[in-house]
Chains A and B, each alone.
Chain A
Amino acid sequence: MSFVAVIVAFAGAIVLIVGRALAVDEIKGRVQRHITASLDATIDMLPDELQAQWADEWRAELAAVITMPLTAAHLVRGLRHSAHELLAHPALAPASIDNHAPTSRRSRAGLSMRAQGGLQASIASALRGAGAYVTRRGDILAVAVAVAVAVVFAVAAAVGDIVIVAGDVIVADVFAVAVVFAVVFVVGFVRVVVVRNRV
């Protein structure tokens, strides 16, 4: 019985490790794509002259940090601010229809309606992202893996509790192994998110 429990625990652990790797890769890929799309949108709102000056440089800077999601997101946020600053340069401000200076800073900066949308654009983007998230097969796999992990831990915890109460040390070992791998899972996640974001 003890031998079978150990085999089951290790099989479960392997499934967990593979599942975690798949889920992490999936999420990382999705975050990277989102960040890249965000930079592309920032570059698209610039006039051609500024795009020619900055697009390649900014894409190169992002490519250097794209594997570090937090740093990359911070960079893109900064680049969006840079784009606004560059657009605010008086020489680039478009004249209004009656040749008077536009009153709104965003209008003066010549930003697109999408950029002016601000909160609405963010919400729409988030909803589109959420819709895409559940319809992609890879994401369904990631969610399935996450649910499976949760179920395994819940069952292990329940069985462990029952058997501990019953005084059966063997299956309690399964619970202990599950706890150890839960810790490994959490530590691995923290390592991916935090350690890899050090510049």
Chain B
Amino acid sequence: MTTPRMTTQTLKVLGTILSEPDAEWYGLELCKRARLKPGTIYPTLDRLIKAEWLERRWEDIDPAVEGRPRRRLYRLTAIGAPAARQALDEHLAALQPAAAESWRPAHQPRLA
């Protein structure tokens, strides 16, 4: 198992999946919810699968009955859920000082 490269797109995908951590997602739905293009989503999903943070399966439906083809569904693995949450927390924590700095008024002295 390897740790996936944490790009902005990867963080967006993980953030979207973590909004409903027990849900199963299909590619286009993730595109819409994460506001990413299809060109971005599949390589990202591929990396997360290779890292064993996500697992996928084919939807268990009869296409003739449903009137649409089966989708491939993605969900967090037991390893992936805590790892994704930790990765997001780490990136948010890293961003917070920078965000606080950018909001600090010019006349206010820096503490410590």
Contact = CB atoms under 8 A, between A and B. Distances in A.
B26 to A, nearest CB: 8
A63 B37 contact: no
A119 interface: no
Interface of A: 53-54, 56-61, 63-65, 74-75, 77-82, 85-86, 89, 199
A75 B38 contact: yes
Interface string B1-45: 000000000000000000000000011100110000111111100
Contacts of A78: 31, 37-41
Nearest to B28: A61
Interface residues of B, number: 18
A50 B68 CA distance: 24
B110 to A, nearest CB: 42
B27 to A, nearest CB: 6
Nearest to A60: B69
Given A59-B69, A64-B68, A85 B43 contact: yes
Contact of A60 (B39, B41, B42, B72): B72
A89 to B, nearest CB: 8
A65 B70 CA distance: 13
Contact of B68 (A53, A56, A63, A82): A63
A67 B64 CA distance: 18
B3 to A, nearest CB: 16
A58 to B, nearest CB: 8
Interface in B39-62: 39-43, 46
Given A57-B72, A59-B69, A86-B46, A64 B39 contact: no
B100 to A, nearest CB: 35
